[in-house]
Amino acid sequence: MADGHRPPRRRPLPPADAPSAKLVRPVDPERSESIPPPHQKKRARTGAARIVRPQHPGAANQERDNRLTVLVLVAALVMVVLAAIAYIVVLLGPGLSAGSRTTGSVTADESSPDQSPAGGESNSGESNSGESTGGESAENPQSANEPTASSGAFVEARLSDGEVVVVGRVPDQTLADRLQLASEIAYSPSVRWDLTIDATAGGADWLAASPQVVVLLQALVEGQIQLADGKVVVTGSAPSRAAVERLQRAAVEASGLPVEVDQVEITGLKDPILVVAAEGERVAISGVLPTEEIRRDLVAAAVDLYGVNDVVDATTVDPGVYPVLWMGNGGRLISALSAFASYEVRLDGRLFSASLSGTAVFDTGSVAISPEFGQILNYGVGVLTRDPFISALVEGHTDDRGDPAYNLQLSQERADAVAGYVTQRGIDESRIEAVGRGEAEPIDNSETDEGRAKNRRVEITLEVAP
């Protein structure tokens, strides 16, 4: 070569049909997998790296404050919900007792060595709402459990504006329970009480008959009956002298104590009358009532249940008629009666009579008293409790299907069941007469289903004993 250098050697190109070169990774003999290529190792190292940035000193506090704020908001929401529930319970509590206005409280005097917890429960169960009456209303500033003519042990029942309040200071819980139960039976749902238990009050002997005396307010238009200092004092107004004499006689027989009735005014007012009768979907109301408000409330209750086109109103208003306890709850009475296919109820002053038919009275072949029938019977029990000189006649009737002897027996058993219901609530059995009439006295055509349904009935009549 001219320049004295050897030309570079060139690797000959492989033939065109030669196999292409292939990169083979080295294999670690002690591992079952190939060693990753360098570029993958680098990425793995880069991916595993983590940059930790310093946190601002206030960030942790801010996060903690945020959590506390959330907790406070949740707690506030829970409190709002609980407060709303409590408000609804207080607002609707009386209504949960079927529209009852019965409330009461029993408290223990702190000076008593045998204290009972405040707000003691009544034997009447749901009737005691647990609300304290707080004494009398604002119109009368006198404390509810302060006697008008005595100190120490006393019991007093007051009737005003169609509501009864039973107050007193009694020596033990047992007497308080008896007072609550007696007043509940006699005056429900228009009764409340405020009783204080004081074991140092004394007077247990002459107070023992107080439950039988406080239920006698029905004889008055307004007023009170008080047991204090070993005697009974009656004040207020009554419709007639005969009503006062009847009350005095009943109080003497119940308590054995002297009874003073000199401070009772005779108003000369007449007894009110209310008759409610229904057949099917139509109801008729008649009678003489003392105020337009009472009449309007009764008719409105009937319209709500039966509709305006199916209510016949024949009531009148007479200011010469005195109000009685049932008038403030006439709507509840009509509501309870609506469960019966056919009925007629008459309230005449302090008396009560009813003729009821349908399965709401008794199921076919049964002598068990239904809850709907029990509500109506409670009105009669209240009347009997308030006036010991009233007696009751209970008559059971059947239709003419089946064996006459069996029907007679069934009607007697049903009349006995009603009498048993009444006596279980404190009415002496000597005041109740139960008679089974069988199929002997139908009031409608026995050839139709409707007529037979009306003939299957129970009749209850309250009368003043001679």
**Statement to judge: residues 323 and 427 lie in one domain:** yes
User: Would you say residue 58 lies in a domain?
Assistant: no
pLDDT, mean of residues 78-107: 48
Contact 386, 413 (CB under 8 A): no
pLDDT given for residue 204 in this prediction: 66
Residues making up the chain, counted from first to last: 466
Q: Are residues 190 and 238 in the same domain?
A: yes
Q: Which domain holds residue 444?
A: 273-464
pLDDT value for 420: 94
Read off the pLDDT of each residue in 105-113 and give the average, rounded to a whole number: 54
Per the domain annotation, does 311 fall within a domain? yes
Q: Please report how the helices 371-386 and 330-337 are oriented relative to each other, as an axis angle in degrees rounded to 10.
A: 140
> Is 41 part of any domain?
no
Shared-domain flag, residues 144 and 203:
yes
Q: Same structural domain for residues 307 and 451?
A: yes
Residue 137: the pLDDT is 35
Instruction: Kindly state whether residue 281 falls inside one of the protein's structural domains.
Output: yes
pTM, 2 dp: 0.63
- Which has the minimum average pLDDT: 102-106, 158-162, 241-245, 269-273? 102-106
Residues 288 and 227 in one domain: no
How does pLDDT run across 20-63, given as a tens digit for each residue? 444 444 444 444 444 455 444 444 444 444 444 455 555 556 66
User: What pLDDT does residue 457 have?
Assistant: 86
According to the model, what pLDDT value does residue 112 have? Answer: 43
For the chain, percent helix, then strand, then coil, each to nearest 5? 35, 25, 40
Last residue of a domain, one of 220, 237, 266: 266
Residue with the larger pLDDT of the pair 98 and 420 = 420
Please tell me whether residues 288 and 418 are part of one structural domain: yes
7 assigned to some structural domain: no
> Considering the domain boundaries, does residue 242 fall inside one?
yes
In this structure, the answer to whether residues 246 and 122 fall within a common structural domain is yes
- For residue 49 the two structure tokens come to 């790296």
- For residues 340 and 363, membership in a common domain is answered with yes
Asked if residue 397 and residue 303 are part of one domain, the reply reads yes
Q: Is the pLDDT of residue 119 over 50?
A: no
Task: Output the pLDDT for position 261.
Answer: 92
* Percent of the chain whose predicted confidence (pLDDT) is above 90: 31
Q: What is the pLDDT of residues 204-213, one digit of tens each?
A: 688 899 999 9
Q: Which of 217, 237, 266 is the last residue of a domain?
A: 266
Q: Which two tokens stand for residue 419?
A: 């009498």
State whether 183 and 304 are in the same domain.
Answer: no
pLDDT in tens, 337-361: 888 878 899 888 878 888 888 777 7
Q: Following DSSP, what letter does each residue of 395-421 receive, concatenated? A: EEE--S-S-HHHHHHHHHHHHHHHHHH
- Domain stop point among 266, 296, 328: 266
Is the per-residue pLDDT at 108 higher than 60? no
Task: Give one DSSP letter per residue of 199-239, joined into a string.
Answer: TTS--HHHHTTHHHHGGGGGG-SEEEEEEETTEEEEEEEES
Count of domains forming the chain = 2
Question: Can you give the pLDDT at residue 443?
Answer: 84
Report the percent of the chain where pLDDT is more than 70. 67
398-426 tens-digit pLDDT: 888 888 999 899 999 999 999 999 999 88
Residue 56 lies in a domain: no
More confident residue, 463 or 72: 463
CATH value at residue 332: 3.30.1330.60
Q: In the prediction, which pLDDT does 258 show? A: 94
**Core vs surface per residue 85-111: b (16+ CB within 10 A) or e:** eeeeeeeeebeebeebbbbbbbbbbee
Tens digit of each residue's pLDDT (9 = 90 or more) over 297-329: 889 999 998 999 999 999 999 999 988 877 767
Which residue would you say has higher pLDDT here, 29 or 393? 393
Task: Give the strand pairing for 191-197 and 103-108.
Answer: parallel
pLDDT one-digit tens code per residue, 186-200: 888 888 989 999 888
Residue 364 shares a structural domain with residue 219: no
Over residues 264-278, the mean pLDDT reads 92
Inside any domain, residue 94: no
8 A C-beta contact, residue 207 and residue 375: no
Question: Which has more confidence, 12 or 143?
Answer: 12
92 token code pair: 């609707």
Asked if 237 and 158 touch (Cβ cutoff 8 Å), the reply is no
Shared domain for 321 and 410, answered yes or no, is yes
Give the residue among 415, 421, 424, 430 at the shortest CA–CA distance from 460: 415
CATH number, residue 120: 3.40.1520.20
Q: Cα(first)–Cα(last) distance of the chain, in Å?
A: 166
Mean model confidence pLDDT for the chain? 75
Q: 278 or 130: which carries more pLDDT confidence?
A: 278
pLDDT level of residue 64 (50, 70, 90 thresholds): low
